[in-house]
Homo-oligomer: A and B are copies of this chain.
Amino acid sequence: MSTGVRRRMGVEERRQQLIGVALELFSRRSPDEVSVDEIASAAGISRPLVYHYFPGKLSLYEAALQRAADDLAGRFVEPHEGPLGARLLRVMRRFFDFVDDHGPGFAALMRGGPAVGSSTTNALIDSVRQAAYDQIMAHLGVTRAPARLELVVRSWISLAESTALIWLDGRRIPRGELETQLVHDFAALAAVSAAYDEETAALIRRALKDEPPTGPFSDLAVRLIALAS
């Protein structure tokens, strides 16, 4: 009595489906705790069929991670319009959306460890960091960054990662506050470098010349002046 129309998936389509199922599972729990049996069951296929498409759990994990890395890198893309503070805040919102969606998997990956620390996974993490760095430099309008500005941006990216990890560990501060705080932290770290390096100061001054009095950078400046007095 079956209609007989249940369509068989093509090879690439099946691979993409498996990657999606695996990413979902690897996001919700530490990759250590996810078995190939579970992935097969969630995809509605047999375990041997999973191995037909992927040689093992590691290669499936790396494929899922590649998809997540592409997704995350895409979230850094932001039109070059309007004040910088507002642009950065929108990117932070999308970054925390990603962290929220992939919490346990993100934490396990960034904390390293035997299940997730391979040269492939490290290279993927580095590629996402580099994508974030390139986007920020493009928004700042800087093509050749002085060493101190490069340090500010790279170290702020690591600050965003660690802030997200600390948030995931208990979620004791609302994420909206942390998104704004990271925008403020960027301004604060840039200001510290600018205070001691004229080249960085000139670049930052130029990038921030269109900040409105209502933006996050101006709000921080007003509050800091009030705090100091």
Contact = CB atoms under 8 A, between A and B. Distances in A.
A125 to B, nearest CB: 9
A195 B166 contact: no
Interface string A145-164: 00110110011001101110
A215 interface: no
A217 to B, nearest CB: 11
Interface stretch (A9-17, A35-43, A78-86, A180-188): A180-188
Per assembly, the copies of the chain total 2
Contacts of A111: 122
Contacts of A158: 158-159, 161-162
Interface residues of A, number: 46
Nearest to A171: B147
Contact of A166 (B113, B151, B188): B151
Main secondary structure of the interface of A (DSSP, over half): helix
A219 to B, nearest CB: 9
Interface of A: 111-114, 116-119, 122, 147-148, 150-151, 154-155, 158-159, 161-163, 166, 172-173, 177-178, 180-181, 184-185, 188-189, 191-196, 201, 220-221, 223-228
Given A188-B189, A191-B227, 20 more contacts: A111-B122, A112-B117, A113-B117, A116-B117, A117-B117, A150-B166, A154-B162, A154-B166, A155-B163, A158-B159, A158-B162, A159-B162, A177-B196, A181-B193, A184-B195, A185-B188, A185-B189, A188-B188, A195-B226, A201-B227
